[in-house]
Amino acid sequence: MKTKFNICILIFSLILPNSIHAFSNCQEDDYTGLRALYLSTNGGNWDDNTGWPTASTLIANPTMPTGTDVSTWFGITTDANGCVICIDMDGLSNCNEDLFGSGANGNDLTGTIPPQIGNISNLAHLYLHNNNLYGSLPPEIGNLSNLERVDLNSNQLSGSLPPEIGNLSNLTYWYVAGNQFSGTIPPEIGNLTNLTGLYLSNNQFSGTIPVEITNITSLTHLYLGDNEIGGNIPPEIGNLINLRVLRLPNNQFTGAIPVEIGNLDSLGLLILRGNQFTGTIPVEVGNLDKLISLDVSYNNITGSIPPEIENLSNLNYLDLSDNNITGTFIPEIGSLSSLQYLKIKNNQLSGCYNANLTPLCWQLGGTAFYSNNQSISDGNNFDEPWEDFCYGGAGTCTVDIDHTEQSIFDVYPIPAEDFIVFDVPHASETTQVIFYDVNGRTISKELLTADKKIAVGHLSSGVYMYRLFYKEKVYSGKIMIK
C-alpha cells in the first residue's frame, strides 16, 4: 500500500508543476501583451481605463506582479483558466457578438498596435473599432490561432495586410474598413475557410481580387467598396454560393459582369456602382430571386435591360442609371411589386411607355405619387417625359384599334378613380363608349348617362383606349385609371 501511495505522489509531483507552469505562462504572456497595448496607445488618456495600472506601474513591472488579475481591467475578458479571450476597446466593453460593432464610439486609444499583441495566444475577440490607431498591422497577429472576430474599423491603420493573417484558421469575421490600408489583398486570405464576413471597404487597396478569395465558400458578406481595386471579377465568384452581400462600388473594375454571378442564389445585395464595367447585364441576374438591391449605375454597360429581371420578385432598389443601355423601358419592370426605388436616367433608352409600367407611378416612393423625371426620363430619349405619362398617359404605347377620329371634347379627370366624364355636347343616352386594353381587347361597353359620367371603379389601374360613338362618327382616345 505504501508503495502505491509513493507512486501516486510521484505522478502528482510530475504533473502539477507542468500544469502550474502552463497556467502561469498564459497569464504572463497575456500580461506582456496587454501592457504593451496600454503603453503604445497612451492608456493614461483612454476614455475608460478603469482597473488598469498606471503607465509608471507598468513600466516598472515588465513581468506580471503577483496577485494581478487582468479580468478586472476595463475591456478585458478571461476564461476559467484566467487566459484573456477578449479585448474590447470599442467603447461598449461587452464582448458580445450580438452587438458586434453596434453603437461603438471607441475608447480613444491613440498609437500603434504593438507586436506583443501576438502573445495573447487564447484571444478570440479583438474589438478596437473607432479609435485613433495608426501605423501597420503587426505580422505577429498571425500567431493568434484562436482568433475568431476582429474589428479594427474606423482607425488610421496603414500599410499592407500581413500575409500572416492566413494563419487565422478560426477567423469568422475580419472588419478593417475605414482605414488607410494599401497594397494588394494577400492571397493567403483564401486560407480562412471559416470566414463569413470580410470587410475591406474604404481603404486604398489596389491590384485585383485574388482568386483565392473564392475558396472561402462560407463567406456571406464581401465588402470591397471604395478602394482602387481593378481588373475583372473572377468567374470563380460563382463558387461563393452562401454569399448574401456583394459590395464592390467605387473601384476600377473592368470587363463584363460575369455570368457566374447568377449562381449566387442566396444574394440579397449586389452593388457594382461606380466602376468601368462593360458589356451587358447578364440574363443570369434573373436567377437571383432573393435579391433586394441591384445597383450597376455609373459604369459603361451596354445592351438592353434583360426581361429576366421580372423574376426578381423581392427587388426593392434598382439603379441602372448613367450607363449606355439601349432599347425600351421594358414592361417587365412594372411587375416588380416590391420595387420602391428605381433609377434609369442618363442612358440611351427610347420609345413609348408600356401601360404595364403604370403601377410604378404610385408604387415608387412609397405612398406618394411618383413622377420624377430626374430618375427615369432625364438623359434618355423617351417619347414623352415620365411625369407626363404618370399624370396623363402621354407617351403610352398604343394599338391602332381602327381609323377613328380623335376626341374633340373634354375627358376628365385624368387619371380617373371612381368615374370619368365625357363632356360631349348634346349627348344622348344612346351614346355608347367602349373601353379596350392596350392590346385592343374589349374590356367593357357603357352608355353615357345624362350627367355624362361613366363609372370606372371596377377597372384595374392602367391605361385604356376608348371609342365613343356620337352623331354617326366614332371618336377615340386614351384614359388612365388610378
Where along the chain do its domains lie?
Answer: 28-392, 405-481
| pLDDT of 170 over the 80 cut | yes
CA nearest to 183, candidates 142, 228, 138: 228
Instruction: Tell me the range of 182-196, 339-353, 371-385 where mean pLDDT is highest.
Output: 182-196
The backbone torsions φ and ψ at residue 169, rounded to the nearest 5 degrees and listed phi first, read -70, -15
Specify the 3-state DSSP secondary structure of 10. helix
Q: Do strands 221-223 and 410-412 pair parallel, antiparallel, or not at all (unpaired)? A: unpaired
Fold classification of 405-481 is Immunoglobulin-like (2.60.40)
Asked if residue 435 lies in contact with residue 416, where contact means CB atoms within 8 angstroms, the answer is no
Find where cell 473594375 sits. 253
CA–CA distance, 88 with 401 (Å, rounded to integer): 72
Question: With respect to CATH, is domain 28-392 assigned 3.80.10.10?
Answer: yes
Q: What is the pLDDT of residues 207-259, one digit of tens each?
A: 999 999 999 999 999 999 999 999 999 999 999 999 999 999 999 999 999 99
Report residue 16's pLDDT band, with 50, 70 and 90 as the boundaries.
Answer: very low
Report residue 368's pLDDT band, with 50, 70 and 90 as the boundaries.
Answer: very low
- Between 362 and 184, the more confident residue is 184
Mean pLDDT along residues 370-391: 83
- Between 349 and 389, the more confident residue is 349
Predicted pLDDT at 164: 97
Mean pLDDT along residues 43-49: 95
The backbone torsions φ and ψ at residue 139, rounded to the nearest 5 degrees and listed phi first, read -60, -20
The backbone torsions φ and ψ at residue 300, rounded to the nearest 5 degrees and listed phi first, read -120, 40
Percent of the chain with pLDDT over 90: 65
The alpha carbons of the chain give a radius of gyration, in whole angstroms, of 33
CA–CA distance, 413 with 404 (Å, rounded to integer): 22
Predicted pLDDT at 359: 83
Q: What is the mean pLDDT of the chain?
A: 88
CA nearest to 411, candidates 440, 435, 395, 383: 435
Mean pLDDT along residues 346-367: 81
Predicted pLDDT at 478: 82
| pLDDT of 8 over the 70 cut | no
Mean pLDDT along residues 391-395: 77
Report residue 391's pLDDT band, with 50, 70 and 90 as the boundaries.
Answer: confident
Asked if residue 396 lies in contact with residue 353, where contact means CB atoms within 8 angstroms, the answer is yes
Q: What is the pLDDT of residues 281-306, one digit of tens each?
A: 999 999 999 999 999 999 999 999 99
| pLDDT of 12 over the 60 cut | no
| pLDDT of 329 over the 70 cut | yes
Q: Number of helices and strands (H, E) in the chain? A: 4, 31
For residue 234, is the peptide bond before it cis, meaning its omega torsion is within 30 degrees of 0?
no
Predicted pLDDT at 462: 85
| pLDDT of 136 over the 90 cut | yes
Asked if residue 209 lies in contact with residue 185, where contact means CB atoms within 8 angstroms, the answer is yes
Mean pLDDT along residues 122-145: 96
| pLDDT of 3 over the 60 cut | no
Predicted pLDDT at 396: 80
Q: What is the pLDDT of residues 425-482, one digit of tens each?
A: 777 666 788 888 776 677 888 888 878 888 888 888 888 888 787 766 667 788 888 8
290: buried, middle or exposed (CB in 10 Å: 19+, 13-18, 0-12)? middle
Predicted pLDDT at 101: 53
CA–CA distance, 133 with 131 (Å, rounded to integer): 6
Mean pLDDT along residues 102-119: 90
- Is the torsion defined by CA of 74, 79, 82, 85 positive or negative? negative
- Between 113 and 390, the more confident residue is 113
Predicted pLDDT at 94: 67
Predicted pLDDT at 113: 98
Mean pLDDT along residues 199-205: 98
Mean pLDDT along residues 24-40: 92
DSSP code string of 234-275: PGGGGG-TT--EEE--SSEEEEEPPGGGGG-TT--EEE--SS
CA nearest to 154, candidates 94, 116, 87, 109: 109
The backbone torsions φ and ψ at residue 163, rounded to the nearest 5 degrees and listed phi first, read -60, -15
Find where cell 496587454 sits. 34
Predicted pLDDT at 1: 44
Q: What is the pLDDT of residues 66-77, one digit of tens each?
A: 999 999 999 999
Report the half-sphere exposure of 276 (CA within 13 A, side-chain side). 10
Predicted pLDDT at 21: 40
Q: What residues contact 427, with CB distance under 8 A and at least 6 apart?
A: 448, 452, 470
| pLDDT of 191 over the 50 cut | yes
The backbone torsions φ and ψ at residue 335, rounded to the nearest 5 degrees and listed phi first, read -90, 0
Q: Give the dihedral of Cα atoms 178, 183, 184, 186; nearest 10 deg.
A: -90
| pLDDT of 13 over the 60 cut | no
For the ranges 62-66, 80-84, 98-102, 243-247, the lowest mean pLDDT is seen at: 98-102
Report the half-sphere exposure of 344 (CA within 13 A, side-chain side). 21
Specify the 3-state DSSP secondary structure of 166. helix
Would you tell me how many other CB atoms lie within 10 Å of the CB of residue 216? 22
